[in-house]
Amino acid sequence: MKVFKFGGASVKDASAVKNVAKILDLFKNEKLVIVISAMGKTTNALEDVMRSYWNGDGKADELVDGIHAYHMKIIEDLFGVGKTEI
| Per-residue pLDDT, 86 | 56
User: Could you tell me if 71 and 45 are in contact, meaning their C-beta atoms sit under 8 angstroms apart?
Assistant: no
pTM of the model: 0.84
- pLDDT of 81: 80
Virtual torsion, Cα 75, 80, 83, 86, nearest 10 deg:
10
Q: Please, which residues have CB within 8 angstroms of residue 48's CB and are 6 or more apart in sequence?
A: 63
Query: Would you kindly state where each structural domain of the chain is located, as residue ranges?
Result: 1-40, 41-86
Q: Rounded to whole angstroms, how far apart are CA atoms 14 and 46?
A: 20
Sites in the chain below the pLDDT cut of 70: 83-86
Note the pLDDT tens digit of each residue in 45-62.
999 999 999 999 999 999
Beta bridge partners of 20: none
